[in-house]
Amino acid sequence: MMSIWRRVMRPVIFFSALLLFANLQGAGVHISCAPFQATARQGEKIILNFTVSNLSAYTMNQAGNFFISYHVRDLSGRLVRFDNRRFSLPLTVKPGSTAHFSLPVYFSLGPGNYRLEWDLVREGEFWGLDKKWESCFFRLRLLPLVAPDFRKAWLPTSYESDRDWLDREQYLLRQVFLNNEIRWRGKFFGFTAGTTYPQVWIRDAATMMFYARFFYPLPVLQEMVDLFFLRQGRDGQIQDWIDTVGRCDKNTVETDQESSLVLAAFQLALCDRGWLDGKVAGVARLLRLDKAMEWVWQNKRDRAYGLIWSGFTADWGDVEKSYPDQRAIKLSDRSRRTYSTYTQALYIQAAQKLVLLAGRANRKILMEKWRQRGKIIADNCRRQLYLPEQGYFLVHRVAGSPDFFELEKGILAVGGNAEAIRAGLLDGNEISRLLQVLEKRRRQFGLRTVSFTLLPPYPRDFFPHPLLRMPWNYQNGGEWDWIGGRLVSALYQAGFRTKAEQYLREIVAKNLDEMNIFEWSDKSGGGQGAMFYAGAAGVLGEAILHGHLGLAEDFDRYTVPVGSDRFKIMVTKSGDRFTVENSDKVTVDISALSKKEICILTASSKKNICVSKKGKIEIPKK
């Protein structure tokens, strides 16, 4: 009797399941959002709260190619723009479930009043509206980013030129910093690296610090760096990141955290040399920097090669050729010792900065120690990693066998070579040769900027981690302004102004078009990873102020190079602001003047003419 019932019911259950599945496929998905309205600037991060009730048969996540986006209407309901930027779902919404999540969003529309309809999209297949899924509406008042009120409120250091693209970029860079501020218990804590990195990272802080000093009070930036001093190991090593609740960790496949700390601290010492004499937990900051670099020298220097070693990553990256998951950021049983140009170049630069800091403190023994060690690494780097026949530095040497030399000698690592220029490892002729190779490969691969990190990338599946498995993806050749900005800065530093400005203009055009600086992009140009990548904003700001505008400094003075045309410098009576106008009619206002004087180097006199905080000087045209 039971077996007969089963034979009868099985087809009924089967066809019922089919009907249920068909109904689910056509069933609705409901989206609600809050708040219902907001006022924001172009490029400003705002947080929206979403609720998605999934009554369909689809599993909604990024792996399934589902995103949240919006359609733009005016206040009368007329469609203005249907297709707009996608935002990744932060979690999976399974069939039959309801999910609540917050999402950082921003808008690159023109200023105005809009009614946005938030919708789900399965990329390349359909929108929720196609299936009559329920969407939600949001009213947006969008203000212009480039505006006098923004400048007055947020740009105490600013410049004006006859280059619209250059002037507009400073507003975007500043907005990226604002979007990444971390506040804890009402106080400034630091900067996130971007929307998907809620921590403070020392390698990003090193690239932010030059530019951040011109907008933020020095004490809050000093406290940010002190976070890493406070968590420095007894052996001297430095953590990668720190968060507001005191957690910290280190991606051990890198060896650039200690170097990055020195580079970040140097920028703060330029404004307040006495800060290094102060103590953190009873130890002077200068000695802590020495101890950090000493740890690398004793523990990460291979005496046989005479170079600093790290894991097998993609040039400057922090994901190793070892495991296909999170284990790839830690040294392990599968790790291979590599000696990358990037790691050597950062260590050399940190040693150079320690020489300057020790000299300022009259610590001659310390000064000489780091001069010698920096030279040792520089000499070994040139001897073992430079490829004169190729015209650039090798990505890295790999200890043991196989060493991948035949593969890697064909890869131009933009990040490692940019830092090699900044470390003084290439002369003018060698830089010219490097640029020839770079230009040829840009044309070969059809690249829109110089921010693509590996030319060409490693082949498919060379790295087992999903983020690096495909060429032109993530650290395996993706487009990172965090790297492109370093090359621009390096070229300005080396005197290649024409090429530097070309590259800078290409990067800025991309940023302004997207009204964002993404962590990275692939060859298709779609922004990937974190939005508002602050480390990239910092290095681009450095490329503009220090490189393009030529603002240089030491512990006591700023120096601005000018031509022989009329030049004017004014310093307010209070001594906390000055204006510089050079012959190209570029004006730079810098607040919170921390130097004793400002100097100008004229083409006619070939010497510095200086003025103290309280003074005024005009040099007529010769």
Q: Write the DSSP assignment of 350-403 as a string of letters.
A: HHHHHHHHHHHTT-HHHHHHHHHHHHHHHHHHHHHHEETTTTEE-SEEESSS--
Determine the pLDDT at residue 162. Answer: 76
pLDDT digits (tens, 9 = 90+) for 318-339: 999 999 999 999 999 999 999 9
Total domains, the chain? 2
Instruction: Specify the pLDDT at position 590.
Output: 60
> Does any domain span residue 525?
no
Measured torsion, CA atoms of residues 330, 336, 339, 344, in degrees rounded to the nearest 10:
10
Distance (Å, whole) CA 520 – CA 317: 13
pLDDT score recorded for residue 593: 53
Q: What is the structure's pLDDT at 526? A: 81
* Mean pLDDT along residues 390-401: 95
pLDDT at residue 566 is higher than 50: no
Confidence of residue 273 (pLDDT cuts 50, 70, 90): confident
| C-alpha separations of 237 from 287, 499, 566, 575 in Å | 13, 38, 51, 40
As a whole number of angstroms, the distance between CA 111 and CA 41 comes to: 8
CA distance 73 to 115: 5
Q: How far apart are CA 394 and CA 405, in angstroms?
A: 9
In a domain, 270, yes or no: no
Confidence of residue 62 (pLDDT cuts 50, 70, 90): confident
Q: What is the pLDDT of residue 122?
A: 96
Chain segment 222-251, per-residue pLDDT in tens: 999 999 999 999 999 999 999 999 999 999
Q: Mean of the pLDDT values across residues 467-477?
A: 97
Q: What does the angle CA 605 – CA 267 – CA 534 come to, to the nearest 5 degrees?
A: 115
Tell me if 6 is assigned to some domain. no
What's the token pair of residue 229? Answer: 């001093």
pLDDT at 123 over 60: yes
Answer with the one of 120, 143, 166 that is the final residue of a domain.
143
Q: How far is CA 523 from the centre of its chain?
A: 18
Residue 564 has pLDDT above 90, yes or no: no
- Residue 41 pLDDT greater than 80, yes or no: yes
Going by their DSSP bridges, the two strands 587-591 and 37-41 should be labelled as unpaired
Q: What CATH number should be reported for the domain holding residue 117? A: 2.60.40.10
Q: Parallel, antiparallel, or unpaired for β 37-41 and 66-73? A: unpaired
Q: What is the DSSP letter of 611?
A: E
Containing H/E element for 44?
A: none
User: Quick check: 171 and 145 in contact, CB under 8 A?
Assistant: yes
Residue 371 has pLDDT above 80, yes or no: yes
- Which range, of 191-205, 411-425, 439-453, 583-597, averages the lowest pLDDT? 583-597
Let me know if residue 188 belongs to a domain.
no
Task: Name the percent of the chain lying above pLDDT 70.
Answer: 86
pLDDT digits over 502-533, tens only? 999 999 999 999 999 999 999 988 899 999 99
Partner residues linked to 158 by β-bridges: 589
pLDDT above 90 covers what percent of the chain? 78
Give the pLDDT of residue 235.
97
The C-alpha atoms of residue 564 and residue 61 are separated, in whole angstroms, by: 61
**Least-confidence region, from 5-14, 238-247, 410-419, 434-443:** 5-14
Residue 129 in domain: yes
Q: Residue 111: inside a domain, yes or no? A: yes
Residue 12 pLDDT level (bands cut at 50, 70, 90): very low
**In sequence order, what E strands does 11-107 have?**
29-34, 37-41, 46-54, 66-73, 79-81, 87-88, 98-105
Residue among 408, 406, 528 at smallest CA distance from 475: 528
From 83-87, 261-265, 612-616, the region with the lowest mean pLDDT:
612-616
Closest CA to 578 of 546, 603, 548, 600: 600
Evaluate if residue 57 carries a pLDDT over 70. yes
What residues contact 592, with CB distance under 8 A and at least 6 apart? 156, 214, 217, 218, 576
- Which of these three, 125, 143, 161, is where a domain ends? 143
Task: Grade residue 441 by pLDDT with cuts at 50, 70 and 90.
Answer: very high
Once rounded to an integer, what is the mean pLDDT over residues 117-124? 96
Q: What are phi and psi of 266, to 5 degrees?
A: -60, -40
pLDDT at 401: 86
- Which range of residues forms the domain containing residue 82? 25-143
Q: Is the pLDDT of residue 573 over 80?
A: no
Q: Give the per-residue pLDDT at 610.
A: 56
d(CA 43, CA 378): 42
pLDDT at 19 > cutoff 60: no
> Of 184-188, 280-284, 318-322, 591-595, where does mean pLDDT reach its minimum?
591-595
Which tens digits make up the pLDDT trace of 415-434?
A: 999 999 999 999 999 999 99
Given 128, 143, 158, which residue is the final one in a domain?
A: 143
CA-based torsion, 11, 17, 18, 20: positive or negative: positive
The answer to whether residue 586 scores a pLDDT higher than 70 is no
User: Does residue 59 fall inside a structural domain?
Assistant: yes
Choice among 405-409, 449-453, 587-591 with the minimum mean pLDDT: 587-591
Q: Is residue 470 part of a domain?
A: no
pLDDT averaged over every residue in the chain? 89
